[in-house]
Chain A
Amino acid sequence: MSDLRSPEQDYFKGKWWKRKDVKQVIVLWIVFTAMIGYFSSKFQVIAMGNPASETMENVINLITLFTWASSPVAGFVAALAIQALSQRRHHGDNPPPEAEHSISDSPRATATWLVISALLCLFALIVGLIALQKDDQALLDRNAIHVNVTGQQWAWNYDYPGSTGVRSNVLHLPVDQPVVFHVTSKDVKHSFWVVQMGVKIDANPGYVTQTAVTPNKIGTFDIRCAELCGLLHAYMQNKVIVESKADYEKWLASQPDTGHTTWTPEGAIE
Chain B
Amino acid sequence: MTTFATKNEKKALIERLNVFTAFALGTIAAIVVWRLSLAFLPADSESAPLFTREDKITLLSMIAWFIGFMTGIGALIAPFRWVQGKDLTHEENMFYAGKDLGIKRYFRYTTDHKVVGIQYLVITMVIFGIGGILAMLIRTNLGTPEGGWIHPQAYNSIVGTHGIIMIVGTIIMVTGPFGNYIMPIMIGARDMAFPRLNALSFWLIVAAAIPLIWAQFIGGISTGWSAYNPLAGQAPLGMNGYIMFICIFAISTMVAGANITTTVVRMRARGMTWNRTPIFIYGVVASVALALPAFPVFFLSQVMSGMDRALGTSFYNTALGGSGWLYENLFWIMGHPEVYVILIPAVAALMEMAPVFTRRPLFSFNVAVMGIAGISGLSVLVWAHHMYMSGWAPLLSAPFMLTTELISIPTGMLFLVLVGTLWRGRLWMTVPTLSIFALLWNFMIGGITGIYLSDVPADAFLHGSMFVTAHFHYTLMGAGLTGAIAALIYWFPKMTGKMINKRLSWIAFWLTQIGFNVAFMGMFFVGLQGQPRRVEAYAEIFNKGNLITTIGAYTIMIGMLILLYAVIDSWRSGVNAPMNPWQAKTLEWTVANPVPLENFEVLPIVTSDAYGYGKAKS
Which residues of A pack against B, CB within 8 Å? 1-6, 9, 11, 21, 43-44, 47-49, 55-56, 58-59, 62-63, 66-67, 70, 73-74, 77-78, 80-81, 83-85, 88-91, 93-106, 109-110, 113-114, 117-118, 120-121, 124-125, 127-129, 131-132, 134-136, 183, 187-189, 191, 193, 195-196, 198-202, 204-207, 209-211, 222, 224-235, 267
Contact of A59 among B153, B413, B461 (CB under 8 A): B461
User: Which stretch from B22-30, B176-184, B204-212, B426-434 is at the chain A interface?
Assistant: B426-434
Give the residue name and chain of the B residue nearest to A235 (CB): B537
Assess the B363–A228 pair: CB atoms within 8 A: no
A-B contact pairs, 22 of them (CB 8 A): A47-B524, A47-B525, A48-B461, A78-B440, A81-B419, A88-B427, A90-B427, A96-B359, A98-B426, A98-B613, A105-B364, A105-B365, A106-B420, A124-B408, A129-B398, A132-B397, A199-B460, A202-B390, A209-B391, A226-B533, A228-B156, A234-B538
Assess the A99–B429 pair: CB atoms within 8 A: no
Contacts A1-B608, A81-B437, A117-B412 given; indicate if A124 touches B231 (C-beta within 8 A): no
Contact of A226 among B391, B397, B412, B465 (CB under 8 A): B465
Note all chain A residues with C-beta closer than 8 A to B538: 234
Assess the B361–A231 pair: CB atoms within 8 A: no
Note all chain B residues with C-beta closer than 8 A to A127: 455
Assess the A80–B422 pair: CB atoms within 8 A: yes
Give the residue name and chain of the A residue nearest to B234 (CB): A188
Contacts A62-B455, A198-B460 given; indicate if A99 touches B360 (C-beta within 8 A): yes
Q: Cα distance A81–B609 when bound, in Å?
A: 25
CB neighbors of A among B359-418 (8 A): 359-367, 389-391, 394, 397-398, 401-402, 405-406, 408-409, 412-413, 415-416
Q: Cα distance A120–B415 when bound, in Å?
A: 15
Contact of A206 among B318, B365, B402 (CB under 8 A): B318
Note all chain B residues with C-beta closer than 8 A to A226: 389, 463-465, 532-533
Contact of A132 among B156, B365, B391, B398 (CB under 8 A): B398
Q: Cα distance A151–B615 when bound, in Å?
A: 68
A220 to chain B, nearest CB (A): 13
B352 to chain A, nearest CB (A): 15
B188 to chain A, nearest CB (A): 17
Assess the A6–B616 pair: CB atoms within 8 A: yes
A234 to chain B, nearest CB (A): 4
Note all chain A residues with C-beta closer than 8 A to B223: 228
Give the residue name and chain of the A residue nearest to B395 (CB): A136
User: Which stretch from B5-13, B166-174, B247-255, B444-452 is at the chain A interface?
Assistant: B444-452
Contact of A205 among B318, B526, B536, B582 (CB under 8 A): B318
Assess the A125–B533 pair: CB atoms within 8 A: no
Contact of B361 among A5, A11, A125, A128 (CB under 8 A): A5
Known: A9-B617, A73-B412. 5 other contacts (CB 8 A): A5-B612, A62-B457, A85-B427, A110-B364, A200-B461
Contact of B424 among A21, A48, A66, A200 (CB under 8 A): A21
Note all chain A residues with C-beta closer than 8 A to B159: 228
CB neighbors of A among B207-243 (8 A): 222-224, 228, 230-231, 234
Note all chain B residues with C-beta closer than 8 A to A205: 230, 318-319, 324
Assess the A106–B464 pair: CB atoms within 8 A: no
Assess the B420–A204 pair: CB atoms within 8 A: no
Give the residue name and chain of the B residue nearest to A213 (CB): B460
A117 to chain B, nearest CB (A): 4
Assess the A91–B429 pair: CB atoms within 8 A: yes
8 closest A-B pairs by beta carbon, nearest first, are A226-B464, A209-B391, A1-B612, A206-B318, A102-B614, A47-B528, A234-B535, A99-B360
A132 to chain B, nearest CB (A): 5
Assess the B616–A189 pair: CB atoms within 8 A: no
B382 to chain A, nearest CB (A): 13
B574 within 8 A of A: no
Note all chain B residues with C-beta closer than 8 A to A101: 360, 424, 614-615, 617
B611 within 8 A of A: yes
Assess the A99–B530 pair: CB atoms within 8 A: no
B456 within 8 A of A: yes
Give the residue name and chain of the B residue nearest to A86 (CB): B427
Q: Cα distance A100–B364 when bound, in Å?
A: 17
Q: Cα distance A44–B527 when bound, in Å?
A: 10
B600 within 8 A of A: no
Note all chain B residues with C-beta closer than 8 A to A129: 398, 401
Q: Cα distance A5–B361 when bound, in Å?
A: 10
Q: Cα distance A229–B394 when bound, in Å?
A: 23
Note all chain B residues with C-beta closer than 8 A to A232: 152
Assess the B536–A234 pair: CB atoms within 8 A: yes
- Best-surrounded residue of B361, B416, B419, B424 (most CB of chain A within 10 A): B424
Note all chain A residues with C-beta closer than 8 A to B228: 188-189, 227-228
Contacts A2-B608, A117-B408, A135-B457 given; indicate if A231 touches B156 (C-beta within 8 A): yes
Contacts A81-B437, A233-B534 given; indicate if A125 touches B456 (C-beta within 8 A): no
Assess the B319–A104 pair: CB atoms within 8 A: no
Assess the B324–A98 pair: CB atoms within 8 A: no
B492 within 8 A of A: no
A263 to chain B, nearest CB (A): 18
A12 to chain B, nearest CB (A): 13
Q: Cα distance A2–B362 when bound, in Å?
A: 11
Assess the B234–A230 pair: CB atoms within 8 A: yes
A196 to chain B, nearest CB (A): 7
Note all chain A residues with C-beta closer than 8 A to B391: 183, 201-202, 204, 207, 209-210
A29 to chain B, nearest CB (A): 12
Q: Cα distance A187–B464 when bound, in Å?
A: 19
Q: Cα distance A73–B532 when bound, in Å?
A: 30
Q: Cα distance A74–B451 when bound, in Å?
A: 13
Give the residue name and chain of the A residue nearest to B360 (CB): A99
Note all chain A residues with C-beta closer than 8 A to B401: 125, 128-129, 132
B451 to chain A, nearest CB (A): 6
Contacts A6-B616, A206-B318 given; indicate if A188 touches B230 (C-beta within 8 A): yes
Contacts A202-B390, A228-B231 given; indicate if A97 touches B437 (C-beta within 8 A): no
Q: Cα distance A204–B424 when bound, in Å?
A: 55
Note all chain B residues with C-beta closer than 8 A to A225: 532
B21 within 8 A of A: no
Contacts A99-B613, A206-B319 given; indicate if A48 touches B409 (C-beta within 8 A): no
Give the residue name and chain of the A residue nearest to B534 (CB): A228
Note all chain B residues with C-beta closer than 8 A to A120: 408
Contacts A188-B230, A209-B391 given; indicate if A103 touches B360 (C-beta within 8 A): yes
Contact of B530 among A132, A196, A230 (CB under 8 A): A196
Assess the B359–A81 pair: CB atoms within 8 A: no
Note all chain A residues with C-beta closer than 8 A to B363: 103-106
Contacts A56-B461, A125-B405 given; indicate if A95 touches B156 (C-beta within 8 A): no
B93 within 8 A of A: no
Give the residue name and chain of the B residue nearest to A208 (CB): B391
Assess the A224–B534 pair: CB atoms within 8 A: no
The digit string for B452-471, where 1 denotes a CB below 8 A from any CB of A, is: 10111110110111000000
Assess the A195–B409 pair: CB atoms within 8 A: no
Q: Cα distance A1–B425 when bound, in Å?
A: 18
Note all chain B residues with C-beta closer than 8 A to A113: 412-413, 416
B141 to chain A, nearest CB (A): 11
Assess the A104–B359 pair: CB atoms within 8 A: no
Q: Cα distance A136–B395 when bound, in Å?
A: 10
Assess the A204–B324 pair: CB atoms within 8 A: yes
B313 within 8 A of A: no
Give the residue name and chain of the A residue nearest to B417 (CB): A110
Q: Cα distance A81–B439 when bound, in Å?
A: 11
Contacts A101-B615, A125-B401, A129-B401 given; indicate if A47 touches B529 (C-beta within 8 A): yes
